[in-house]
Structure 1
Amino acid sequence: MLELSILGFLAEEPLHGYELKERIKALTGHVRPVSDGALYPAITRLVRAGLLDERAEPGTSAAPRRTLSLTEKGREDLLERLRHPKQAEISDQVRFNTVLAFLRHLPDRHEQAAVLRRRLEFLETPTSFFYDGGEPVSAEDADDLFRQGMLRVARATGRAERAWLAEAVEQLDQPS
């Protein structure tokens, strides 16, 4: 998801490493913080793969600042990642939010809708945080107040997300 975030933010505009880190932190930092030890090696991999261009600019102090921008190959890679997210990027809420943050870069509305349909299909599969005899436990059947709370909040959030996804898919399926 770190690479998707890097490519997605750089599709919007060239950024310095620090600015990029701050944007990624704003997107997922409270849930999955990004460290320099993860960010800068990922940037290096993407530069070596030809997905990013890097140029040095004079900094405000003695050290030059690296400005990163997306190459055409990087843009193609971003679009491919958005067209075909991995299953974990559909099933994990934080990862899906990262996909969602950049899905607007995918120019085809039907491809956007296809990604949302995958998430909607995943959310319509019965699931729970807790199971009894292999069956999902509902909030009403949970054995304590705290698990009931978790399950009620998850159910309400799931309903809201499914409703939005259905509306978004319907809108994307309309002729433009």
Structure 2
Amino acid sequence: MLELSILGFLAEQPLHGYELKERIKALSGHVRPVSDGALYPAITRLVTAGKLDQHTEDGASAAPRRVLSLTETGRADLLERLRHPRQTEITDHVRFNTVLAFLRHLPDRREQADVLRRRLDFLQTPASFFYRDGEPVRAEETQDLFRQGMLRVARATGAAEREWLTEAIAQLDQAS
């Protein structure tokens, strides 16, 4: 997801490393913080693979900064990642939000809708944080106040997301 975030933010504009880190942190940092030890090796991998270009610019009041930009190879990789997200990028809420943050870069509305349909299909499957005899436990079936809270919040969040996904898919289908 770190590489997707890097490619996605650089598709919007060239950035230097610190700006890129701050944007990634704003997107998912409270849930999955990004460290310099993860960010800069990922940038190096993408530069080595020809997906990013880098050049040095004078800093406003600091030392020269390394500015990163997306290459055509990087843009093609970004679009492929958005077109065909891995299953964990569909099922994990934080990872899916990262895909969602950059899905607008995918120019084909049908392909955008296909990604949303995958998420909606996943959300239609009954699930729970807790199971009894292989069956999902519902909020009404537990006496634990705190687990009941988790399950009720998850249900409400899931319902809101399914409603939005259904509306968005209809809008994308109508436009294509």
For residue 53 of structure 1, give the secondary structure of its aligned residue in structure 2. Answer: strand
Distance 1:33 1:142 in 2: 33
Task: Give the fraction of aligned pairs with identical amino acids, expressed as a percent.
Answer: 81
For residue 30 of structure 2, give the secondary structure of its aligned residue in structure 1. Answer: coil
Q: TM-score, normalised by structure 1?
A: 0.98
* Large movers: runs of 4+ above 6 Å: none
Instruction: Name the counterpart of 2:130.
Output: 130
Structure 2 unmatched runs, 5+: none
Instruction: Name the counterpart of 1:113.
Output: 113
Following TM superposition, by how much is the alpha carbon of 1:99 offset from its aligned partner in structure 2, in angstroms?
0.2
Instruction: Give the number of equivalent residue pairs.
Output: 176
Q: Which moved more, 1:32-41 or 1:52-61?
A: 52-61
The answer to whether the aligner puts 1:145 opposite 2:130 as a matched pair is: no
For residue 55 of structure 2, give the secondary structure of its aligned residue in structure 1. Answer: strand
Distance 1:175 1:22 in 2: 34
Following TM superposition, by how much is the alpha carbon of 1:62 offset from its aligned partner in structure 2, in angstroms?
6.1
Instruction: Name the counterpart of 2:154.
Output: 154
Distance 1:66 1:95 in 2: 28
Distance 2:77 2:109 in 1: 18
Structure 1 unmatched runs, 5+: none
The answer to whether the aligner puts 1:100 opposite 2:100 as a matched pair is: yes
Following TM superposition, by how much is the alpha carbon of 1:142 offset from its aligned partner in structure 2, in angstroms?
1.5
Q: TM-score, normalised by structure 2?
A: 0.98
Following TM superposition, by how much is the alpha carbon of 1:57 offset from its aligned partner in structure 2, in angstroms?
1.2
Distance 1:154 1:140 in 2: 13
